[in-house]
């Protein structure tokens, strides 16, 4: 952390809104993402992998799932076609196994009770984000903004989607705090002038150590954010 604890605590008192990443932060979509990738393997005569094998790379979407399932990178000539097939599979099973993380609804209810605006900033394409929002109506009913990876010309770690979310909820970015489980969340949040929180309970990525991301705060569970904001 570049700032002292007292400086950060002072900034926390100025926070008026909370923005969240989606996958690995609010919802656990790894089982459905893994199932969509595993279907690619099975359809090609390859043995199925345990869904947990995909989990750590779930935050990287199609790129991460194809890396686990086929050791395929975006440079591979078959990657675009495989990605589209993965997308088709995922769209078909998008909410079969996806759940909120424990404590998320309690966290959101507490923010709403405090009249604290909140929203979502995800790199997930709107094609999929809209389906998740539609099929989890209780969770997202009070969201003031849902910004997807293709809502603005740039996705995270560019600050554009975060700034768009702040604009939609009509809160100064400096009065927002952003919570995410990937280093690009922290980079994007800082670039947007927001306080940042690393969600250490999320997917994190291969070999990642969230304590090295430079986040202002780190939480081990969704409800830790309530303690941080002193809203419980």
Active site residues: 21, 23
The C-alpha atoms of residue 194 and residue 11 are separated, in whole angstroms, by: 10
The C-alpha atoms of residue 37 and residue 138 are separated, in whole angstroms, by: 28
Distances (CA, A) of 86 to 22, 40, 108, 153, 186: 19, 7, 31, 23, 27
The count of residues in the chain is 232
Backbone angles phi, psi at 121, to 5 degrees: -130, 110
Q: Any idea which residue has 């927002």 for tokens?
A: 176
Strand 195-199 vs strand 176-180: parallel, antiparallel, or unpaired? Answer: parallel
Q: Are 225 and 107 in contact (CB under 8 A)?
A: yes
């Amino acid at each position: 952390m570049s700032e002292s604890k007292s400086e950060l605590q002072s900034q926390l008192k100025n926070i008026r809104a909370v923005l969240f990443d989606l996958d690995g932060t609010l919802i656990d979509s790894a089982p459905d993402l893994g199932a969509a990738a595993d279907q690619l393997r099975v359809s090609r005569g390859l043995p199925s992998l345990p869904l947990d094998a995909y989990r750590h790379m779930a935050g990287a979407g199609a790129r991460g799932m194809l890396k686990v399932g086929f050791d395929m990178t975006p440079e591979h000539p078959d990657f675009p076609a495989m990605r589209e097939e993965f997308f088709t599979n995922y769209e078909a099973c998008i909410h079969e196994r996806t759940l909120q993380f424990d404590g998320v609804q309690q966290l959101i209810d507490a923010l709403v009770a405090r009249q604290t605006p909140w929203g979502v900033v995800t790199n997930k394409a709107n094609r999929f984000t809209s389906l998740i929002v539609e099929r989890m109506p209780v969770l997202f009913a009070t969201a003031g903004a849902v910004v997807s990876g293709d809502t603005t010309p740039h996705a995270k770690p560019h600050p554009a989607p975060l700034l768009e979310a702040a604009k939609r909820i009509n809160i100064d970015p400096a009065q927002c705090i952003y919570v995410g489980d990937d280093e690009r969340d922290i980079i994007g949040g800082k670039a947007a002038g927001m306080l940042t929180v690393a969600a250490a309970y999320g997917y994190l990525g291969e070999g990642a150590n969230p304590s090295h991301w430079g986040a202002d705060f780190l939480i081990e569970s969704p409800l830790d954010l309530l303690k941080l904001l002193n809203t419980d």
